[in-house]
Amino acid sequence: MSEMTVVSALGVSMWADKMALMLGGAKVMALSYARASKDQKRKSYSVDQQSDMNNEEIEKNGWTKLGEYSDNDESASRFRRKAAGREDFAELLKEIKTGKANVLVLVDVSRSQRDLEVFAMLRNLCFENGCFFWLVNGNLYDLRVTADRNSLANMAVQGETFSDAVSDGVSRGLAKQKKDGRPASRCPYGYERFKDQKTGAFDRQVFDVTERTAVHTETGTVEEYTTSDVVENIFRQLRKLTTSGAIARDLNSRGIPSPGGLLWSRQTVEFIARNAAYMGKRASYGTVVSDGQWEGIVSPAVFMDVQRILDRDDKGHDRTGRKAKDKPDAEWLLSYAARCAECGAWLESKHKSANNGAAVVYRCSKKYCSSVNFAKFDSYVESVLVAWLSRPDVYQRLISQRRVNDASIKAHEDDIALAERQLGENKALRMSGAMHPDDFVDMQKDLRDRIELAEKTIRAAAVPDIIQDLVGPDAAEQWAAIPEVATRREIIKMVCAPLLHKANKNPRMPIEKRVSFGGFMKDLAA
């Protein structure tokens, strides 16, 4: 056996030291790996440049290239978002496990990873499978030599430290961006954003008033629109209790493309309706953190009204009443608008055989606790609703309630502002070391819970304008003028929320004894 080589348990020829490897020529099996993160400013070597540099080293030493691997636009830090990235890195590890490789060629250690845990795994894998040598930026290292292992480890530490520093810098930048009210990276639909021509920094964000043309899918009518008007109309329609599905269908029929250039959906409409940017606020993970440096398309009051409408049903149902995968019966007014008083389930319409032909009834959708003739139930609920809306005292009660709510809203808004200020102060104390980490975590959680509760209270206090518009001596005419069954259904759920009780085996029990009401009728009862 040559003094220059030894034989491992795997039967693979391993070079005794660096000198032996350098003299090994074509018998040395080399692996090349290159990686680059997203680098729009081109400050780092590209994958192609790295591969070329690695190949030059392999050719210069006369080695045989066993494999060449590269990952482009892939982070190697512990902060990376993609759990299943770096496909070629995984293939590299498989090749190392075969025991055929003698040397791993890299431009620098950070190309393989920016995570000490990954570095240790890669180093150990190479050591266990006979790939004892790493050629990094033209310098050869032997994993069996303590000084070389220490040098590589220091490079790995520097790589992870750089990654941590970048992450800390990004976090500080984002925190300041949120505090200052600068917008998120993507410009919201309905706005137009401008940057400073010299620095590329954010300059201003204004309504998108560019006129666009849409062609109605059925009539061929041409319509001029702006995206900011579309957003404002979405909020306006939601306040009128138009369902998000109906809004999406209307926009699609008018030929107006969605923000992504495709068809509108209920989810797209509600995504816009939930975005606090449209009331001129900067939010983070659903929580408003500061006033935005732009004007809101809608006022905070309008935005909160819409949140209250969208949040009203908290039992896993959408605003139509059913689970999102289903649809309510469009023809029957109280289908999934009234509930069973016995078990709380929605009432659904059901065709039922009768002596004089088929009949439609409403029945409990879960346990079938109760049922009632649809015409009798519809007529009674609508008559009670209109009569209540026509009462002279109801308008005054609504106004008084709104004043109370407005005062409550102001108090909760002040509480949110205080809590947000305390969040920032606590973070500063934690960064300076004046606050224990455990105390910081507990206090931040308590403050965020306080903010969330206050925001929910504000949304619950809102009264949609359409309800206030219905109240008055002409309530019957206003009610009759609403053509959409879905809108009427939403008003019924909010204003009177009917509950149907059992007939107690008495088919002649008067309907008024079987029905009770909730909603505003219950909240504003004397």
Q: How confident is the model over 422-476, as pLDDT tens digits?
A: 888 888 887 788 888 788 888 888 888 888 788 766 655 556 667 777 888 888 9
Q: What is the pLDDT of residue 526?
A: 46
Parallel, antiparallel or unpaired: strands 139-142 and 133-136: antiparallel
Q: Which of 362-366, 369-373, 448-452 has the lowest mean pLDDT?
A: 448-452
Pairwise CA distance, residues 491 & 358, whole Å: 29
Domains of the chain (ranges plus CATH)? 5-166 (3.40.50.1390), 212-311 (3.90.1750.20), 316-409+451-526 (no CATH)
SS3 44: coil
What is the reported pTM? 0.49
Residue 411 tokens read as 């108090």
Residue 473, pLDDT score = 85
Q: Is the pLDDT of residue 125 over 50?
A: yes
Look at the block and give the residue holding tokens 């061929």.
220
pLDDT over 90 (residue 233): yes
What number of residues does the chain have?
526
- The whole-number pLDDT of residue 297 equals 94
Find which of 36-50, 157-171, 199-213 is predicted with most confidence, using mean pLDDT.
199-213
- The helix/strand/coil state of 486 is helix
b/e string for 251-280 if b means 16 or more Cβ within 10 A?
Answer: bbebbbebbeeeebbbebbbebbebbbbbb
pLDDT band at 7 (very low <50, low <70, confident <90, very high): very low
> Which of 518, 87, 478, 466 has the alpha carbon at shortest distance from 240?
466
Higher pLDDT, 287 or 378: 378
Q: Are strands 29-36 and 103-106 parallel, antiparallel or unpaired?
A: parallel
What's residue 418's pLDDT?
87
Q: How far apart are CA 183 and CA 180, in angstroms?
A: 9
Q: State the burial class of residue 523 (Cβ atoms within 10 Å of its Cβ: 0-12, 13-18, 19+).
A: exposed
| Range 148-155, long-range pairs (CB < 8 A, 24+ positions) | 149/123, 152/109, 152/119, 152/123, 153/119, 155/108, 155/109, 155/110
Across 178-249, the runs of DSSP E, i.e. the strands, are: 191-195, 202-207, 212-215, 222-225
Q: What is the Cα–Cα distance from 97 to 105, expressed in whole angstroms?
A: 16
Helices (H), 112-145: 116-128
Element (H, E) at 303: helix 300-311
Terminal Cα distance for the chain, rounded: 103
Contacts of 446 (CB under 8 A, 6+ apart): none
212: Cβ contacts below 8 Å, ≥ 6 apart? 224, 225, 226, 227
Alpha-carbon Rg of the chain, whole angstroms?
34
> How does pLDDT run across 291-318, given as a tens digit for each residue?
888 899 998 888 888 887 887 644 444 4
Question: pLDDT class for 519, splitting at 50, 70, 90?
Answer: confident
Residue range 117-128: mean pLDDT, rounded: 88
> Mean pLDDT throughout 27-47?
71
pLDDT band at residue 41 under the 50/70/90 scheme: very low
The pLDDT assigned to 399 comes to 65
Cα torsion angle, 343, 347, 349, 353, sign: positive
Q: Of residues 301 and 342, which shows the higher confidence score?
A: 342
* pLDDT band per the 50, 70, 90 thresholds, residue 403: low
pLDDT digits 0-9 by tens, 237-286: 998 888 898 899 999 999 999 999 999 999 999 999 999 899 988 877 66
- The 3-state DSSP class for residue 67 equals strand
The residue ranking higher by pLDDT, 352 or 367, is 367
Determine the pLDDT at residue 179.
62
131-188: pLDDT as tens digits: 999 999 889 999 999 999 898 888 887 766 664 555 444 445 455 565 666 777 789 9
Q: Which of 39-48, 97-106, 281-290, 402-411 has the highest mean pLDDT?
A: 97-106
pLDDT at site 111:
46
Among 180-184, 194-198, 460-464, 496-500, name the one with the lowest average pLDDT: 460-464
- Work out the mean pLDDT of the chain and round it to a whole number: 80
pLDDT at 447: 87
- Its sign, for the CA torsion 251, 256, 257, 262, is positive
Report the C-alpha gap between 526 and 524 in whole angstroms. Answer: 6
User: Looking at per-residue confidence, does 397 or 496 come out higher?
Assistant: 496
CB of 338 closer than 8 Å to CB of 500: yes
